Amino acid sequence: MRELVCAVDDLTPGQAHAAVVGGKTVAMVRLDDGTIHAIEDECSHGSVSLSEGEVAGCFIECWLHGSRFDVNTGTPVTPPATAAVLVYPVEIDGEDVYVDVESPTNL
Ligand code: FES
């Protein structure tokens, strides 16, 4: 079930923001192209927050060891991480951003 997370304008393009949705911490990412993505906010290589990393293009970089994850697929494209993080469906309804953490798109 989708839950209201924030407003579109709460998310800065090119940055990630942590949000708690359905008891899970999610990294909300608004890319420079305006698209909004929601991924699991824990690196698959270690217990650190991906939302504290840098966003470049469609990637977010883990601040600890530098793995970059594609926010569309959750897949790491650079080591040392090898496992994907979960990607959650995002819906925009007017100015509101909804995420469904119960239905990851990449399981
Ligand atoms: S903890 Fe993220 S790459 Fe190592």
| Nearest-atom index, ligand 1, CA of 79 | 3
* Gap between the Cα atoms of 31 and 2, Å rounded: 21
User: How far is ligand 1, taken at its centre, from the CA of residue 46, in Å?
Assistant: 5
Domain membership of residue 80 (yes or no) is yes
Q: What are the backbone dihedrals phi and psi of residue 3, each rounded to the nearest 5 degrees, phi first?
A: -130, 145
Domain membership of residue 43 (yes or no) is yes
Tell me the pLDDT tens digit for each residue of 6-62: 999 999 999 999 999 999 999 999 999 999 999 999 999 999 999 999 999 999 999
Domain membership of residue 104 (yes or no) is no
Q: What is the pLDDT of residue 29?
A: 98
| Nearest-atom index, ligand 1, CA of 81 | 3
62 lines ligand 1 (CB under 6 A): yes
Looking at the structure of the chain, the number of domains it has is 1
Domain membership of residue 92 (yes or no) is yes
| Domain ranges, residue 42 | 3-99
Does residue 107 surpass a pLDDT of 90?
no
Domain membership of residue 12 (yes or no) is yes
- Non-local (6+) Cβ contacts of 59 within 8 A are 68, 69, 70, 71, 77
Q: What share of the chain is helix, strand, coil (3-state, %, to 5)?
A: 5, 40, 55
44 lines ligand 1 (CB under 6 A): no
Contact between 19 and 53 under an 8 Å Cβ cutoff? The reply is: no
Q: What is the pLDDT of residue 51?
A: 98
